[in-house]
Amino acid sequence: MYNSNTAAYTSTKAGAVSDVLKGIVEPDEKASYQISTADKEVWMVQEVLRSNEKNERNYINLNSETKTFDIAATEDDRGGISMNWFYVQHNRVYTGSNQIDVPWTNKELKISYESFRDKTLPGSEEKWTLKISGIKGDKVAAEMLASMYDVSLDQFAPHNWVDFKNQLYPNFYGFNQWNSNVFGIEEVEGNDYYKSTEEYYSSKDYDDLAVIKKDGKEITSWPDFERKTLRGGTGKDVTYFMSNANQMAAPAEIELAKRKDLTGAIGRVEVNKFTPPKIVKDEEANGDGVSDKFDKNNSLNQATIQIRKNFNETAFFLPDLKTDAAGNISFSFTIPEALTEWKFLGLAHTKDMRTAITSNKVVTQKKLMVQPNAPRFMREGDNMEFSTKVSNLTDKALNGTATLQLFDATTMQPVDGLFKNGNPVQSFTAQAGQSAAIKFNIDIPFNYNSALVYRVVARSISPSGGGQGEVSDGEENSLPVLTNRMLVTESITLPMRGEGTQHFSFGKLLNNKSTTLSNHALTVEYTSNPAWYAVQALPYLMEYPYECAEQTFNRYYANALAAWKQRVKNSKRKILRCCLI
């Protein structure tokens, strides 16, 4: 430490002040600070404290002036240097301290993105390349932990990887404390006494529901499971009935010129063009009431529409990626098909514990996106509106149709008729950069004992202004259907000794007056040795779910009962042996 400059100090306030002019330095660089005082003939004690205990104590004179000092940093000073001073003037003690930062840059790495896309399509194949180098661009051999997850999970608890460099290479803070009465010196050294904490509060933007404009002629429909005729009048409104079916048919086009009766069934009628009606014979109709020829020719060509099914919340977790000779790390993955924002995290390190952390965001989106607002579960007997949002990210308005299909998750057979999905195809108009809301009315049937798979498909039919081409999107997922009933077990013992016939009665079931009760099953268990039931209970006692007083007593009782049975058995053997003698 040495004095490099002296200047007059014009303040009249008693005491002294110290300011750091250059407080962040690398080894072999000089830190600068200045001390100013308005007092005259000051004899000041100054100390420079280092983590390697190579401390310095100097005595300086100040006389209403400002002096500038330099401190040369070395490699051993990484973590920081502390400077303290004090002096006595007019029976008062004046103290001060400053901190000079010498960061651990020799333990840092630099991560750069050589190949990376922050916007991509759901389900796309991605290949990223990251380059890891030293802080000065030198090549290093490093290993990386890489992961990417749905950023919506941060709503539960924000997730970030902690750079453990601060734990391995802490900052140094040293200070001396002088007592004005005793003038003693007490040195205290510590690590990370002061930590800054930042709280990040994310904002939420809620989309407004767009008003769907209904252009053209409206079509009303309702299910009728008794009738099998399609009737059309000469008016603008079309009324039709569908036959008993599990799946609604695809759109059809008919001519509304004359009143005609059509056999068979059809799911929906759209008045778009004047095309002669398709007459379907009863014997040509399949299980959904629509002929196979009609399905093949007029249904939505879903083979060309991406039906998104993979909604994993973790895109990848790669714990042992290693650099090549050039310091690059390349990896490939298939991004899940959810329309969301993803958070990428990377942690790189070398053998000598040089570390770096990187974070980035990726968005999966399409020009036309269908986003069903499905519930977490359904309950039998409920009536609900299955709502869906169709988003248009193009610069032109999109007109199209959205279709809801329902399937049994076990067999993947259509169950639209069972759920009364009477209007499975609906039109929408989404303005450029806006969304359209669509609702499907469905009824959850009773006694439906399977999960439900829903499939929502949207596609544009005639984009306004042209130039967009046909765009589409689809989503498929499953929902549990919960029952409103609770399984109640009534049991009675059937004790019998020897031969004979006995009558037993379930009084609670015979005298039950419930209007919702339905019998499920009757099970009879019998054994010639009732002790077998105790043996069957032993696995439960051994593999108890949690530790508590009840579980402890049950195990004790089982062991005590087994020991008692063994003593009784041995006693019977002794008695039998005595009788035989």
Contact 482, 450 (CB under 8 A): no
Alpha carbons 112 and 135: distance in angstroms, whole number? 11
Residue 478 pLDDT > 90: yes
Contact 380, 482 (CB under 8 A): yes
Q: Which two tokens stand for residue 48?
A: 């420079």
Q: Is 510 helix (H, G, I), strand (E, B) or coil?
A: helix
- State pLDDT tens for residues 40-76: 888 998 888 888 778 888 888 888 888 888 888 888 8
pLDDT for 182: 52
- State pLDDT tens for residues 69-78: 888 888 888 8
Query: What whole-number percentage of the chain has pLDDT above 90?
Result: 33
pLDDT for 234: 36
User: Which residues have CB under 8 Å from 359's CB, separation 6+?
Assistant: 160, 343, 344, 345, 346
Contact 238, 423 (CB under 8 A): no
pLDDT for 416: 94
pLDDT for 122: 94
The closest of 408, 4, 433, 402 to 208, measured between CA atoms, is: 433
Alpha carbons 436 and 393: distance in angstroms, whole number? 12
- Average pLDDT of the segment spanning 420-440: 93
Query: What whole-number percentage of the chain has pLDDT above 70?
Result: 72
Place 109 in a pLDDT band, splitting at 50, 70 and 90. very high
Alpha carbons 87 and 73: distance in angstroms, whole number? 26
Alpha carbons 243 and 46: distance in angstroms, whole number? 97
Alpha carbons 516 and 203: distance in angstroms, whole number? 48
Residue 237 backbone phi and psi in degrees, to 5: -85, 140
Place 545 in a pLDDT band, splitting at 50, 70 and 90. confident
- State pLDDT tens for residues 508-536: 888 888 888 888 888 888 777 777 777 78
The closest of 472, 442, 161 to 308, measured between CA atoms, is: 472
pLDDT for 77: 86
Q: Which residue has the tokens 């259509």?
A: 414
pLDDT for 330: 95
Residue 425 pLDDT > 90: yes
51 or 442, greater pLDDT: 442
Alpha carbons 435 and 212: distance in angstroms, whole number? 9
- Average pLDDT of the segment spanning 282-290: 41
- DSSP per-residue string spanning 323-378: --TTSEEEEEEE--S-SSEEEEEEEEE-TT--EEEEEEEEEE--SEEEEE---S-E
pLDDT for 266: 35
pLDDT for 204: 53
pLDDT for 573: 62
Q: How far apart are the first and last CA of the chain?
A: 110
Contact 102, 79 (CB under 8 A): yes
pLDDT for 423: 93
Single-letter code of the amino acid located at 49:
L
417, with CB counted inside 10 A (0-12, 13-18, 19+), is: buried
User: Which residues have CB under 8 Å from 57's CB, separation 6+?
Assistant: 45, 46, 47, 48
Q: Is 309 helix (H, G, I), strand (E, B) or coil?
A: coil
Place 568 in a pLDDT band, splitting at 50, 70 and 90. low
Contact 358, 172 (CB under 8 A): no
137 or 407, greater pLDDT: 407
14 or 460, greater pLDDT: 460
pLDDT for 466: 47
- State pLDDT tens for residues 207-265: 444 434 444 444 333 333 333 333 333 333 333 333 333 333 334 333 333 333 333 33
pLDDT for 205: 54
The closest of 46, 44, 68 to 57, measured between CA atoms, is: 46
- Average pLDDT of the segment spanning 318-324: 94
The closest of 295, 296, 298, 292 to 275, measured between CA atoms, is: 298
Residue 531 backbone phi and psi in degrees, to 5: -65, -20
pLDDT for 449: 81
Place 574 in a pLDDT band, splitting at 50, 70 and 90. low
pLDDT for 123: 93
Q: Which two tokens stand for residue 236?
A: 């603008």
- State pLDDT tens for residues 291-309: 343 344 334 455 578 899 9
Buried b / exposed e along 84-97 (16+ C-beta atoms within 10 A): bbbbebeeeebbbb
Instruction: Please compute, for residue 199, the number of CA atoms within 13 A of its CA located in the half-sphere on the CB side.
Output: 1
Alpha carbons 304 and 294: distance in angstroms, whole number? 19
Buried b / exposed e along 6-36 (16+ C-beta atoms within 10 A): eeebeeeeebbebeeeebebeeeeebbbbbb
Place 554 in a pLDDT band, splitting at 50, 70 and 90. confident
- DSSP per-residue string spanning 151-191: GGGGGTS------THHHHS--EEEEEEE-TTT--EEEEEEE
Element (H, E) at 560: helix 549-580
Residue 548 pLDDT > 80: yes
The closest of 108, 91, 406 to 248, measured between CA atoms, is: 406
Mean pLDDT estimate for the chain: 76
Q: Is 523 helix (H, G, I), strand (E, B) or coil?
A: coil
Q: What is the dihedral of CA 120, 123, 125, 129, to 10 degrees?
A: 50
- State pLDDT tens for residues 342-370: 999 999 999 989 999 999 999 999 999 99
User: Which residues have CB under 8 Å from 542's CB, separation 6+?
Assistant: 555
